[in-house]
Structure 1
């Protein structure tokens, strides 16, 4: 069986694995954005308790390898507390926690990048701090962080390969199963590398287009001002 025949034979399984990979990535980014926003607001809160909670969460997640987090959640917690979960659920939780920690810093840097005069001007017009944040600061911060969020999507997509260690049926796990059956690791892993490259290349180009359009829009608005 030549390379092309092997690829066509493995394509349906690759398609299933890629669907799971994209599902894990999208779900993790969705929940990661929620966690990241919460941690971000905790981090910039005036309450020390909230800042401490956010700092501990971010430091623990960013200070430990994703592989260790996956093992701890799927094997450690399930044995220690007796909570059972599917490998896909565990994968989404781990990737969400990981993405949320990094996104919180992305959101915080975006908020800090907004000119402080915007908040002061909004407050001088009679808006409360929360309304000024929601209506004035956040829309500008979102515009700033969009390219970084897309980049985090790419990173999370790559991180799904690590989730294969707990048995989640994503693309890498699918490749391992195929190799275990036909012992043609060179060809199969080469195909997987090509598939990942194609998807990540497309996402990278999308990120560059978004960043370029945002930069052009920003320059036009500054010129009109």
Structure 2
């Protein structure tokens, strides 16, 4: 089969440097997506019609168009429309965060609505402000209920981060392609990077299982 993994000698440290970029990008995108997704979910359950309309249209657009299209649009259109030379990493974080928020908004909305309505009524009867009620009472319970879905979204972001290589971000996938160009062998570096992605997902899953156990004990 003409396979020779010895071609990776000397390239492994270069490839592994992409882990930092991949994890940083995933963390920023997940955090931004969670915050913006939470705001959108509050818009969706709001009694203010324009906010509900905006959140629903936003979700429809970002869930109805390919993520790759959103990524290249933000990267190539931003300099043309706003005369701002956006960096590849910033464009990638923005695109993935905006896209993730559209999906998370539905997940978080479901989590909020799964919390017993009696708790909201009790908080309102005690005169607790809406903002305080949401931040201190409702959202913590909602996050606990939807934790598995949140983890799945983080795993998806981690794997889909390979798309950022198309705009030049030096993540794991980009570095594997560079090694392939240098050695004229693509299978070996791609298999190695695939194994790295798999290990990262296993670590993330393991950490989440520990977190879930601790949250169950705190109930």
For the residues of structure 1 that align with 2:133 and 2:31, how far apart are their CA atoms?
25
Q: Which residue of 2 aligns with 1:169?
A: 170
Is 1:55 the counterpart of 2:50? The answer is: no
Q: Which residue of 2 aligns with 1:84?
A: 85
Q: CA RMSD of the aligned region, Å? A: 1.9
For the residues of structure 1 that align with 2:153 and 2:19, how far apart are their CA atoms?
18
* Conserved? CA contact 1:99–1:152, under 8 Å: yes
For the residues of structure 1 that align with 2:187 and 2:207, how far apart are their CA atoms?
30
Please report how far the alpha carbon of residue 98 of structure 1 lies from its aligned counterpart in structure 2 after TM superposition. Answer: 1.2
Q: Which residue of 2 aligns with 1:117?
A: 118
TM-score (norm 2): 0.91
For the residues of structure 2 that align with 1:52 and 1:185, how far apart are their CA atoms?
47
* 5+ long unaligned stretches in structure 1: none
Please report how far the alpha carbon of residue 8 of structure 1 lies from its aligned counterpart in structure 2 after TM superposition. Answer: 4.1
For the residues of structure 2 that align with 1:156 and 1:61, how far apart are their CA atoms?
15
Q: How does 1:65-144 map to 2 (within 5 A)?
A: 65-144=66-145
Q: Which residue of 1 aligns with 2:195?
A: 194
SS, match of residue 9 in structure 1:
coil
For the residues of structure 2 that align with 1:179 and 1:148, how far apart are their CA atoms?
35
Write out the 4+ residue segments of structure 1 that deviate beyond 4 Å after TM superposition.
Answer: none
Q: Could you list the per-position Cα deviations for residues 12-54 of structure 1 after superposition, in whole angstroms to 9, with x for gaps in the alignment?
A: 1112211111111111112112211211111111111111111
* Conserved? CA contact 1:28–1:93, under 8 Å: yes
Please report how far the alpha carbon of residue 212 of structure 1 lies from its aligned counterpart in structure 2 after TM superposition. Answer: 4.3
For the residues of structure 1 that align with 2:120 and 2:161, how far apart are their CA atoms?
39
* Conserved? CA contact 1:77–1:83, under 8 Å: yes
